[in-house]
Structure 1
Amino acid sequence: MKLVKAYIRPILLEDVYTALRNKGYCCMTVFEGEGTGRFSDPDDQHGSLNFPAMHTHVVKVEIAADTEDVDTITEIIKEHGRTGRKGDGIVFVMEIEQATRIRDGKQGAGILN
């Protein structure tokens, strides 16, 4: 199992979400946040009271997936989460060492289905 973490533009979340759902990837967690970095869109940066540095709004999408689905998920995110401008985001993929469903204690990749 792998964990896919994608940081994308908030305005593209609905497109990415819809495309993932249409391909059968229904389950994800979405976080709203703010980020800074070399790859922020300079036309979309702003300051705030909470963060004194210039930053941009981002959405983080997390999907726990079977290893064989990672390339497809990543391609969907790349296709539907891009504008072609600096600051479109980034996708990280990490190994999941263990997964346990809280409700019944079941473990392993089977809890994703």
Structure 2
Amino acid sequence: MKYIIAVIKPHKLDAVREALSAVGVNGMTVSEVKGYGRQRGQAEIYRGAEYQINFVPKAKVEIAVSDDQLEATVEALQSAAETGKIGDGKIFVLELASAVRIRTGEHGQDAL
């Protein structure tokens, strides 16, 4: 099993959700987060004055998938979240040691 964490632009969230549903991803967790990467924030202009935003608003998507779903899931995430501009985000893939469905007590892949 794999645990995927994607940090994306917030306005791409609906497109990402639809793309993941199309490849069979059943659930996800989404959080509103702030951060920066190589761009170190961004400059904004408000009433003619420029100011620096150090932490850019992002959406963090967390997904647990089986090993055979990994490649399709990552491809769907990447294609749906891409704008071609700086700050599109990152996708991280981690090994998932265990999962338990609380309601039924199912373990492993059955819990996903």
User: What RMSD in Å do the two structures reach over aligned CA positions?
Assistant: 1.9
Return the TM-score normalized by structure 1: 0.84
Q: Greater share of strand residues, 1 or 2? A: 2
Structure 1 equivalent of residue 48 of structure 2: none
Structure 1 equivalent of residue 55 of structure 2: 55
Shift, 1:43, TM fit? 5.2
Shift, 1:111, TM fit? 1.2
Shift, 1:98, TM fit? 1.2
Quick one: distance in 2 between partners of 1:110 and 1:57? 34
Q: Give SS of 1:100's match.
A: coil
Structure 2 equivalent of residue 32 of structure 1: 32
- What are the ranges of 5 or more consecutive residues in structure 1 without an aligned counterpart? 48-53
Quick one: distance in 2 between partners of 1:74 and 1:60? 14
Between Structure 1 and Structure 2, how many residues are aligned? 106
- What are the ranges of 5 or more consecutive residues in structure 2 without an aligned counterpart? 45-50
Return the TM-score normalized by structure 2: 0.85
Change over 3 Å in CA distance of 1:37–1:17 after alignment to 2: same
Shift, 1:39, TM fit? 4.2
